[in-house]
Amino acid sequence: MSNGRLWVVATPIGNLEDLSPRARETLRAVGLIAAEDTRHSAPLLAQAGAQARALALHEHNEHEQAARIVEHLRGGGDVALISDAGTPLVSDPGYRLVRAARAAGCEVSPVPGPCAAIAALSVAGLASDRFVFEGFLPAKSSARRERLQSLVAETRTLIFYESSHRILESLADLRTVFGDAREAVLARELTKLFETILAAPLGELAARVEADANQQRGEFVVLVAGASGEDAEAELAEGRRVFALLREELPPARAAKLAAAITGAPRKRLYEG
Ligand code: SAM
C-alpha cells in the first residue's frame, strides 16, 4: 500500500468566502484533519462539508501528534493540516509535522491560499520585490527594541505580525528605533468588516493609532519600508564612529559587537574603511 499524502491547506484570514474550491475539496476528501484548535475550526469545517475526524495539533503537542499523523499517512490515509487562520506554518505550528511526514517518505503538497503577510504586502504600496517576514516581535520591550535595532539597516521591506494587546507598544518602539520619518503601513482586520489600511510615516502612524481606540482593535500586519541607501550609509558612518571610540578601551571583536548593537550598523562592515 502506498503512503498517504499530507495536504497543507490555507484557510481564510477573516472572510469565509476566501476558502478556495480546492481547499474545500481537500478537506472533504481526507480521512483526518490536523487543526491547531479543533473547536475554532469546527464552523469552517462544517461549512466546507468536511466529515473527517479532527485532531488537535498545536505548539505544545506537535511532537507526539506528528508521530500519530505519520502513522495514519503510512497506513495509506491522506491528512489535511490547517491552522486557525491563513497558511499553516506561517507564525503557526506545522513545520515539525511536515518534516516528519517527509522523513517517513510521504508526499507533502500545498493547497495555497490566504496569508495575512502577503495580503498586507499586496496592498501596502511599499517595495515588494524583496521583503523580510519577521513574524511577531518579542513581548518584552527590551528584547523588542533589541530585535528592532538589529533590523534598522535592513534595506528590504519588513513585515511584522501584531495583536491588539501590544500594537501601541510596538508602534512606539518602531518609532523610537526607526525614526518618525520611516514610511510604514498598518493593515488591520484584512478581509473583515473593519478592514483598515493606514499608510503614513511611523511618527504619524503611531500618533493616529494612539488617538483612536478603534484603530487599536483586531489583528494587525505592520509593514515598514526598508532603510534607504542614505539611511544605511549614515548608520554605517555612526557605527564606525562608535566602533573607533570603543576600540580605544576594548578588544576589536567586543567593540564591534557593541557598536553594531548600539547603532544597528552591520558588524562585519565596521572593520572596513
Ligand atoms: N498563519 C497566519 C497567516 O497565514 O497569516 C498567521 C497566524 S498568526 C498566529 C496570527 C497573526 O496574523 C495575527 O496576530 C495578525 O498579526 C495576523 N493576521 C491574521 N489575520 C489577519 C487579518 N485578517 N488582518 C490582519 N492581520 C491578520
71 and 172 assigned to the same domain = no
Asked whether residue 9 falls in the same domain as residue 93, the answer is yes
User: Same structural domain for residues 124 and 65?
Assistant: no
Asked whether residue 210 falls in the same domain as residue 263, the answer is: no
Q: What is the pLDDT of residue 273?
A: 57
Distance CA 173, CA 169 (A): 6
d(CA 216, CA 211): 9
123 & 207 share domain:
yes
Q: Among the atoms of ligand 1, which is closest to the Cα of residue 117?
A: 5
Provide the domain limits for residue 263: 230-271
Contact between 34 and 79 (Cβ < 8 Å): yes
The per-type count for the chain, helices as H runs and strands as E runs, is 10, 10
- Give the C-alpha separation, 181 to 193, whole Å: 30
Report the pLDDT value the prediction gives residue 268, as an integer from 0 to 100.
86
Whether 67 is covered by a domain: the verdict is: yes
**Does residue 195 sit in the same domain as residue 235?**
no
> 160 in ligand 1 pocket by Cβ < 6 Å?
no
Residues 194 and 243 in one domain: no
**Percent helix / strand / coil, the chain, rounded to 5:** 45, 20, 35
The closest alpha carbon to 3, from 107, 109, 111, belongs to: 107
| Phi, psi at 41, each rounded to 5° | -85, -10
Q: pLDDT value at position 69?
A: 98
Q: How many CB atoms lie within 10 A of CB 188?
A: 24
Q: How many residues does the structure list for the chain?
A: 273
| Alpha-carbon span 181 to 192, nearest angstrom | 29
Report how far ligand 1's centroid is from the alpha carbon of 245 (Å): 43
> Which atom of ligand 1 approaches the CA of 191 most closely?
23
Backbone angles phi, psi at 73, to 5 degrees: -65, -40
Query: What is the phi/psi pair of residue 87, to 5°?
Result: -90, 125
Domain count, the chain: 3
Mean pLDDT per 10-residue section of the chain, whose length is 273 residues: 95 97 98 97 97 95 96 97 98 98 98 98 98 97 95 95 97 96 98 98 97 97 92 80 93 92 85 71
Ligand 1 close to Cβ of residue 83 (< 6 A): yes
**CA dist., res. 242 & res. 254, Å (int):** 12
pLDDT of residue 266: 85
Tell whether 99 and 170 lie within a shared domain. no
pLDDT score for 82? 98
Q: What CATH number is given to the structural domain containing 187? A: 3.30.950.10
Verify that 110 and 121 share a domain, yes or no.
no
In a domain, 145, yes or no: no
- Coil/strand/helix, residue 204: helix
pLDDT at position 251: 92
Within a domain: 147:
no
